[in-house]
Amino acid sequence: EKDGHDWFMRKEIFEQPRAVADSLLGRRGVDGRLQLDEMRLSDQELRDITKIIIIACGTSFYAGMVAKYAIEHWCRIPVEVELASEFRYRDPILDYSTLVVAISQSGETADTLQAIRHARTQRSKVLAICNTNGSTIPRESDAVIYTHAGPEIGVASTKGFLTQLVACYLLALYLAQVKGTRFGDEIDQVLGQLEAMPEQIEKVLALAPDVYALAREHVQSRSVLFLGRHAGYPVALEGALKLKELAYLHAEGFAAGELKHGPIALVEEGLPVLCVVPPRGRDQLHDKMLSGIQEVRARGARTLCLAEEGDEQVAPYADELIRLPRVPVLLQPLVAVVPLQLFACELATALGYDVDQPRNLAKSVTVE
């Protein structure tokens, strides 16, 4: 049942190319344009949206952070991302022109469910991104984008996360198509890049032995930091969460630009810092990230860098370097998170912990 793997989690990590491919299946109409069959909101309803609030918990919240970058960039609609447990208790501003997007793998998370119930009392439309057919959250939503990860057994979300990212990109592209904020050609191009992702993820999975070796070198670590920028920031947060929940290690993710505003004080000799390096582009993201890496390294950190193929600038500052395929910055989370999942899984295994059933955690959190 685990296909020869020791853990469901490991099996599910390796299923990700298939899960991503399945979540992209059937999304193009005969004319090649993007279609979402469970959308159920009319084009006019979507054009009337002036604000989007994404609500979710845990890993699903990090998918929502990536969605914010994608939706604001492609659709020019303001997006807030909020933890479901905070949302309902702060008297949020909602009305009929607000679209609430609830992201939940299980579709049963109590905090998220209560949040959408509240949103609906305020006449907001609710769209669910969910992996579980017929679960409560999609049943109580106006529209659904189902992910097709298949059942996720490991308590730590892996393929659930990647397919949520896919659904978020599809939603962003669909809104851009309906609102006309992007040309069809560009939407088509990004869809093509998404369709090439399963192959890119396979390339990252082929590096598993290197990542495992790296993880085993860190069994003695007491603390691990994760740095990212832009879409790599939620990846850093997700990498840290995986390590906390599986290896019971102190792990924290930061936006690299925040280092000098406090976290750099944590850096001491030998501290492992995992750095998600953005692709080289026209913006200054990549170079800014490099200076962050230099700063922590100058203070004794051991830098473990994930950087795209061909990025030679990072090499002198990387104590360890894992190569990612070259993909656009917004899509990079789909490849960058995979080594972090493998790292946490292997480190927890080496420490002798139960990766599929971490202590104190439940797969679906049905109490608030």
Query: Which two tokens mark 126?
Result: 């609710």
The bridge status of strand 125-130 relative to strand 223-228 is unpaired
Name residue, tokens 């930061």. 254
Q: Site mask, ligand F6R, residues 149-178, x = CB under 6 A?
A: -------xx---------------------
Q: Which stretch binds ligand F6R (CB under 6 A): 23-31, 57-65, 214-222, 320-328?
A: 57-65
Cα–Cα distances (Å) from 37 to 8, 42, 44, 57, 170, in that order, read 31, 11, 16, 26, 12
Q: Does 101 bind ligand F6R (CB under 6 A)?
A: no
104 binds ligand F6R (CB under 6 A): yes
DSSP per-residue string spanning 302-336 = EEEEEEETT--SSGGG-SEEEEE----GGGTHHHH
CB of 15 to ligand F6R, least distance (A): 16
HSE, CB side, 13 Å, CA atoms: give it for residue 193: 19
**What is the smallest separation between the CB atom of 60 and ligand F6R, expressed in angstroms?**
4
3-class SS shares of the chain: helix, strand, coil, % to 5: 50, 15, 35
- Token pair of 13 as six digits: 């990590």
Report the length, in residues, of the chain. 368
DSSP 101-134: EEEESSS--HHHHHHHHHHHHTT-EEEEEESSTT
* Residue 284 host element (H or E): none
Report how far residue 29's alpha carbon sits from residue 249's, in angstroms, rounded to the nearest whole number: 47
Question: Does residue number 23 form part of the binding site for ligand F6R (CB under 6 A)?
Answer: no
Query: Which one of 2, 179, 288, 363 is the catalytic residue?
Result: 363
**Does 365 engage in binding with ligand F6R (CB under 6 A)?**
yes
Q: Which is nearer to ligand F6R, 57 or 215 (CB)?
A: 57
Please give the structure tokens belonging to residue 343: 């790292």
Residue 250: Cβ within 10 Å count: 14
Stretch that binds ligand F6R, among 51-59, 140-148, 258-266, 331-339 (CB under 6 A): 51-59
Min dist. Cβ of residue 153 to ligand F6R (A): 12
Q: Is residue 325 part of the contact set for ligand F6R (CB under 6 A)?
A: no
**Out of 60, 124, 147, 303, the residue judged to bind ligand F6R by CB under 6 A:** 60
Nearest approach, Cβ of residue 309 and ligand F6R (Å) = 28
Hey, is 218 helix, strand or coil? coil
Among 59, 303, 332, 349, binds ligand F6R (CB under 6 A): 59
Query: Which of 112, 141, 163, 341 is close enough to bind ligand F6R by CB under 6 A?
Result: 112
- 363 in active site: yes
By the rule CB under 6 A, 85 interacts with ligand F6R: no
In one-letter notation, the amino acid at residue 165 is L
Q: What residues from 239 to 278 belong to the interface with ligand F6R (CB under 6 A)?
A: 241, 245
Asked if residue 106 binds ligand F6R (CB under 6 A), the reply is yes
Helix axes 197-205, 333-350, angle to 10 degrees: 30
196: tokens are 């090439």
358 binds ligand F6R (CB under 6 A): no
Shortest CB 52 distance to ligand F6R, Å: 18
Q: Per CB under 6 A, does 341 bind ligand F6R? A: no
Contact 306, 337 (CB under 8 A): no
State the nearest-atom distance from the C-beta of 107 to ligand F6R, in Å. 7
Q: How far is the CB of 324 from ligand F6R (least distance, A)?
A: 21
- Residue numbers at the binding site for ligand F6R (CB under 6 A): 57-60, 104-106, 109, 112, 156-157, 241, 245, 364-365
What positions carry a catalytic annotation?
A: 363
